[in-house]
Structure 1
């Protein structure tokens, strides 16, 4: 579907809600989330516009969704799963209707005090109930960097890497909303030059700069999703910080892969940006060599030009931007990831989350982890306040942002932040 098909993407649209030029959330975006105003029991579906949240339950109360042919009780739910289950046609109709209602001169303007809440007034909640979580390893720059560090005398990429989107199934219960504090994890580590492990708080705590997509259409066990159908099964995307305990992971990951080094926490941004809103920012994927097998071949553009940034902020200190990358670098795109995920008949469910793996760019300013930025601790990362880091220290806050920008519009994700507290 081409960009001009979506009326809501028209760059000429103006809202009666004042939106600053540098906002991530103009009328052309309209991402979905779950918010509350009084208490968590009050949580319901909202859409972000500028510095405000539009209450979709209240729009339903005002009978402004009467032309949407589905049960509007989904807007009163405390997760988006029931709304997403209505299917792509209904997501699109809802976004288009909201776009109409928010345009300058709309009848909604006289109800604005009833339906709009300042972002300062609301609490954001997990937007979906995540049933299953899969983490891919799809940046060739990141995989090459890690391979060079861990296998200095061997091939940086293992033989399978250019043939399949490598991934593993992770722990869904520890995915948390932006703003949630993270305690430093504990586990077994093998100190340098030691032959026996010790039990210790993680000493090499890291972030991983990732994006994740939310599954929007379930499949039955035994069925597969074709590459041409894959994006019809994706509702939208969030920025994803996959916290990583490098020393715990290094000791445990052979032979079965990540476990305690990854399962303690992953943080997501609260607003799910739809693929429809991202449509104007499609770009070609990097060339894949060798040629992939037929089931992974695609014709359309499945990558997106999403600028990504990571800030590290010491407690009481100034934030330093330590990485600037871009989602367009991904060697394996989302359509290939989902197709490969289901090719063996693995069923997927609405609300499942699939993360990209660390997104690193071409040079050291675009590395998506401290493991790479410090090159496994050999180099120091200089902070604005004169401090230095090799890995994350207690009371540091990590903030990630993602946004697309062209001459006419900026579509962003907001931010995902998390503060690291000492081990319990």
Structure 2
């Protein structure tokens, strides 16, 4: 996840600095135009920097800028702009922003009164403020000139009562110049380091540092980084990779796990083959002879030099901990790894378990063993 966010900075850097040299010109133009049109914004930088400017996004999680927005939001959340602004944005720039971006609320309750309303979230600063030509300052509009007079009055009362204030970067007297969002871009710092000038390696370290990864309460913390990388690099079928991950994270859909959830069609937690309690280990490895335990023993005897006998507890722990270094393939003519052997066995056990459960196909140990051997030989032939 951190690496995916870092990769977005190639595009963010080009868009925020308005420099298309780092990406193809056509890509830059498409990104800029789409950001403007899809968010009804005079500048493509506004929806990138300000979450409230993205209210028109209707594509939800499939939005093409989802990862880009997530990357910049993570940075701004953990490194908010300081109160000291070397250069503050001018009034013309402020008028183009969402109105919620210039307001600072006294507490959460007051904030909810504004942020929970679609009409306010969709409003810009220019809907309620304008430049007073007589005083040359940014002031709230007269009620008769405002598109939304009720909201305008609510904001005016809040400013008078002190419930809301203008943020630190709002300079009501700086009316010179055109739209210029670079003061906001210049505040993208992490510990006083400009994020847009950092190398990818430094950005990745920052992302890993500030992104609190929620691994879940059932995550297996005994697996080392080396073992994870070893699994990632294995070219195995997607179905067995899915089952293997589920076993590691204690999410294997055994009858015991399904029965606890009170699913409609799960009447008990008993194995349909032997009538013992079916947990993950029982489902994949230890269902007693003549079933899954025999399959593992047959495979070990046929392909391994050591061990020759499958210990159900040891096999299951080896799978969930990704610790297969104690298993040795004795036949050097077979060009497979120990991961290939375990993956083929897990895949076929899972496949024929499903066929038995949903289609009533008899679970034949010898037939399953034969299919595993055929799969192993197929994998070996592919690597020759």
> What TM-score does the superposition give when structure 1 sets the normalisation length?
0.18
> What TM-score does the superposition give when structure 2 sets the normalisation length?
0.20
Higher-Rg structure is: 2
More strand by share: 1
More helix by share: 2
Q: Which has the higher contact order (CA 8 A, sep 6+)?
A: 1
